Amino acid sequence: MKFFTAIFLLVICLGIGLFIWQINKSNPAFIYEHIKKYGDTDHAALIIQRNGETVVEVNAAKPLPLASTVKFIIAISYAQAVADGRLDAEESVAVEKLQHFYIPKTDGGAHQAWLDSLNGASTVPLKEVANGMMLYSSNANTDYLIHRIGLEQINSTIDDLGFQQHEELYPLVSTLYIPVQLINERGLEKNQLAAALEKMDKSEYQSRAIQIHTKWLSTPPSQEDIKHIQQYLTTDVQKVWSDRLPRSTAADYASLMAKLNRKDYFSPEVHTYLDPITEQLMQNPRNQPWLQHAGQKGGSTMFVLANAMYATDKEANRTEIVLLTNELSVLEQIKLSRNLNEFQLQVLTDPQFLEEIQEAFK
């Protein structure tokens, strides 16, 4: 019996060791290999553009969940509102107001990381709220900006950009309370929530989210509310939440990245307020010697990894990369996340790697 126990433990240890080796191994090719593997499904899309030409295009027109990549739209709407004088980037905002939209343990620590960066400040300028949305990916900051800009204005930005298949935006955090509503209204069991959410019409889902969001402006969720949200946020419920996130296509976001990269679509005034929050990559001293400008926003759930980026190097080469994936396993999620930065860097700096990707999709 001891012998078999020892063998069993050895197998477990080897399995864990192999898993750790797989996720830590640097392999930027894993990104395009994953896209190629799922190219015949609705689960993955990739576009790479160089100097106005499409280098790689896979599933460009298939709508996929954007996760936090959609915050590009809110950032643009914010910058336009400031440039137009509808908002003041220097307006003082009480940090406490942002807590109205914060549910701990639901955002991967994003909002807390932003709070930690403030060194205890009780107020911040509005531009720092936008910075926290883009750099730290705070969902609380996102929903506060949705309130300040207005959903109608944000969704009109989507129309103005000429997107073909972009779904409307709605508050992110308040949707997490919908399962609690269903428990209270219908007396459902916890294991019935996912099915009930799946059956809910999209318009009702979004309407509930907006109503909850509006209520939280004056009456934030109580500690009991927060406890229930966390309690009912099972993996199945998270899957429905992930699936219901706004969707768009790689083609739409590649067109947006090109607009941002060329600096000729939005006014200089808009870029004055937009670039500081979207081009955080330029704060890294290692990027400054070889890049003129670069920006990106990624997003993820347990099942989704999305990223849209643009860059112009010192030789005036313009590159846009959009990656959208869904229905990921835990291992796929980890490996894609670990290798994405290196993949982007190789695309930007290594012509041979770019040729390798092109060959893979011939």
Calculate mean pLDDT across residues 159-184.
Answer: 96
pLDDT score of 25 more than 80: no
Residues 49-63 have a mean pLDDT of 97
* Position 26 confidence tier, pLDDT thresholds 50, 70, 90: confident
pLDDT single digits (tens) 225-283: 999 999 999 999 999 999 999 999 999 999 999 999 999 999 999 999 999 999 999 99
pLDDT of residue 289: 97
In this predicted structure, what is the pLDDT of residue 151? 97
pLDDT of residue 9: 45
pLDDT at position 89:
98
The pLDDT assigned to 192 comes to 97
Distance CA(122)–CA(28), nearest Å, equals: 41
Confidence grade of residue 300 (pLDDT, cut at 50, 70, 90): very high
Domains and CATH numbers, the chain: 25-66+248-360 (3.30.450), 71-247 (no CATH)
User: 252 vs 3, 97, 155, 246, CA distance in Å?
Assistant: 59, 33, 15, 13
pLDDT in tens, 306-348: 999 999 999 999 999 999 999 999 999 999 999 999 999 999 9
Is residue 18's pLDDT more than 70?
no
pLDDT in the model for residue 197: 97
